[in-house]
Amino acid sequence: MKNLILLFLALLLLPVVSQAAIEEYAFEEEVQEERFKQLTYEMRCPKCLNSNIAGSDAPIAADLRKEVYDQILEGRTDQEILDFMSSRYGDFILYRPRLTAGTLVLWFGPALLLLGGIIIVRRMMLQSQDAATETGLTQKEQEELDKLLDRD
């Protein structure tokens, strides 16, 4: 058991992307192939540590690739395929989280932070402009400085 744990931890040292799956899928149109690549890139293998279904050797990932392939050939849209997959496996399968109440912070948090940053810079700029006109010294210090400079 201990060895198993050690082995597991050793694995954790690395990016946990498993070995790539290499299969042939023939498409009639290049657009379909592009869509296949994009869709399998954006979907998470439900049974793996952290890899998309394009890059996983797991049997379930192979099944899902086949499913995506079939649905593309059947003429389904990307959204329909993604909806189908998430209704079956949950939102866990989507690497691009849907915009829901639960992911608002995720999608809009960074923009809010940036906005906050801009406000801080703006305020510092205004403050420092005041400081710049006052050379950052109190009046007494300024007088002392003038005196020193004069003496020099």
Partner 1 sequence: MIPELGNFSLVLALSLAVLLSVVPMIGVQKNNELLMTLSRPLCTGVWVFMVISFGCLAYAFLDDDFSVAYVASNSNSLLPVYYKFTAVWGGHEGSLLLWVLMVASWTYAVSLFSRNLPLDILARVLAVMGIISVSFLLFMLFTSNPFDRLLLNTPADGTDLNPLLQDFGIIVHPPFLYMGYVGFSVAFAFAITALLSGKMDAAWARWTKPWTNAAWAFLTIGIALGSWWAYYELGWGGWWFWDPSENVAFMPWLVGTALIHSLSVTEKRGVFKSWTALLAIAAFSLSLLGTFIIRSGLLTSVHAFAVDPERGMVLMAIILLVIGSSLFLYALRAPVVKGIASYTATSREVFLLINNIILVVSVAMILLGTLYPLIHEAIYGEANKVSVGAPYFNAIFLPLMGLIVIFLSIGSISRWKKTSMDYLKSQLLKVAVASVLLGIVIPLVVTREVNVPIFIAVALALWIILGIGRDILTKTANKASLLEGLKSLSLSYYGMQIAHLGMAVIILGVCLTSHYSIEEDVRLAPGEQIEIGKYTFTFQGVNREPGPNYAADVGTIEVQKNNTTYMTLYPEKRTYFATGTVQTEADIDVGFTRDLFAALGDPRGDGAWVVRLHVKPFVFWIWMGAFLMAAGGITAILDRRYRVREVRQQETVTKTPGAMGSLKGA
Residues lying near partner 1 in the complex (CB under 8 A): 2-3, 5-25, 37, 41-42, 44, 49-52, 54-55, 90-97, 102-103, 105-106, 109-110, 113-114, 117-118, 120-121, 124-125, 127-129, 131-132, 135-137
State which residue, 13 or 148, has the beta carbon closest to partner 1: 13
Q: How far is the CB of 103 from partner 1 (least distance, A)?
A: 7
Decide whether 131 or 147 has the Cβ nearer to partner 1: 131
CA 107 to chain centre: 10
Q: How far is the CB of 35 from partner 1 (least distance, A)?
A: 14
Beta carbons within 8 Å of 79's beta carbon, 6+ residues apart: none
Q: At what angle do helices 30-42 and 59-73 cross, to 10 degrees?
A: 140
Nearer to partner 1, 92 or 147 (CB): 92
Nearest of 44, 41, 31 to residue 75 by alpha carbon? 31
* Interatomic CA distance for residues 20 and 76, integer angstroms: 26
Whether the CB-CB separation of 123 and 116 falls below 8 Å is answered with no
CB of 137 to partner 1, least distance (A): 8
Closer residue to partner 1, CB minimum distance, 17 or 31: 17
Q: Are 19 and 45 in contact (CB under 8 A)?
A: no
Least separation in angstroms between CB 71 and partner 1: 19
Return d(Cα 83, Cα 32) in angstroms, integer: 18
The nearest distance, CB 110 to partner 1, in angstroms, is: 4
